Amino acid sequence: MVEGARPVPGASPAPDAAGLGRARATGFLVPAMVLILVFLVVPAAWTIYLGVTNYRLTGLAAAHPEVVGLDNYTRALGDERFRTSLLLTLQFVLGSAVIGQAGLGFAIAFALRDRRGPLRRLVEGFVLLSWILPSSVVAFLWIALLDRDAGTLNALLGIPGTAWLLDHPMLSIIVFNTWRGTAFSMMLYAAALENVPRSHLETARLAGASTWQQLRDVVFPHIRGHVLTNLLLISLWTFNDFAPFLITAGGPEQRSEILPVYVYKVALSGGELGFGAAISFVMLLINLVIALVYLRMLGRRKEAA
Partner 1 sequence: MSAITMRELTKVYPGGVRALDALDLEIADGEFFALLGPSGCGKTTLLRTIAGLEVASGGSVRIGERDVTNLPPGRRDVAMVFQDYALFPHMTVRDNIAYPLRIKKVDRRSRAGKAGETADELGLAGLLERRPGQLSGGQQQRVALARAMACHPQVFLLDEPLSNLDARLRLEARTFLKRLQRELGVTTVFVTHDQAEALALADRIAVMEGGRIRQVGTPTEVFRRPANTFVAGFIGSTPMNLIAARVHGEELAVARARLPLPEDARDRVTDGERLVYGVRPEYLDYSASPVDGALTGEVVVVENLGSVSLVSLDVPADDPDAADAPDGGAGPDGDAGPDGGDGPGAGLAAGDTGAGAGRTSVQVVVPEGSEPEPGDTGWVVPRPGRSLLYRDGNLVTAAPPAGVPAPRAGVAARS
- Provide the binding-site residues for partner 1, judged by CB under 8 A: 197, 199-200, 202-209, 213, 217-218, 221, 304-305
Whose CA is closest to 239, among 85, 28, 90?
90
Complex with partner 1: residue 136 or 210, whichever CB lies closer: 210
Cα angle value 86/89/297 (rounded, 5°)? 100
DSSP codes, 159-222: -TT--HHHH-HHHHHHHHHHHHHHHHHHHHHHHHHHTS-HHHHHHHHHHT--HHHHIIIIIHHH
Smallest distance from partner 1 to CB 222, Å: 8
Residue 53: φ, ψ to 5°: -120, 175
Smallest distance from partner 1 to CB 227, Å:
14
Choose between 168 and 301: whose C-beta lies nearer to partner 1: 301
Q: Which is nearer to partner 1, 220 or 264 (CB)?
A: 220
Q: Residue 233 CB, nearest distance to partner 1 (Å)?
A: 24
Cα angle, residue 227 at apex, residues 225 and 232 outer, rounded to 5°: 95
- Could you tell me the smallest distance in angstroms from the CB atom of residue 49 to partner 1? 48
Q: Given the complex with partner 1, which of 193 and 273 has the nearer CB atom?
A: 193
Alpha-carbon gap, residue 170 to 172, rounded angstroms: 5
**Whole-number Å distance between alpha carbons of 244 and 131:** 15
CA torsion sign for 153, 159, 165, 170 is negative
Which of 43/197 has CB closer to partner 1? Answer: 197
Residue with smaller CB distance to partner 1, 223 or 282: 223
Alpha helix positions (H), 112-163: 118-132, 135-146, 152-157
Q: How far is the CB of 200 from partner 1 (least distance, A)?
A: 5
The least distance separating partner 1 from the CB of residue 198, rounded to whole angstroms, comes to 9
Helix, strand, coil share (%) of the chain residues, nearest 5 = 75, 0, 25
Q: What's the min distance (Å) between Cβ of 106 and partner 1?
A: 19
Q: What is the dihedral of CA 195, 198, 201, 204, to 10 degrees?
A: -140
Pick the closer one to partner 1 by CB: 168 or 224.
224
Count of beta carbons in the 10 Å neighbourhood of residue 228: 19
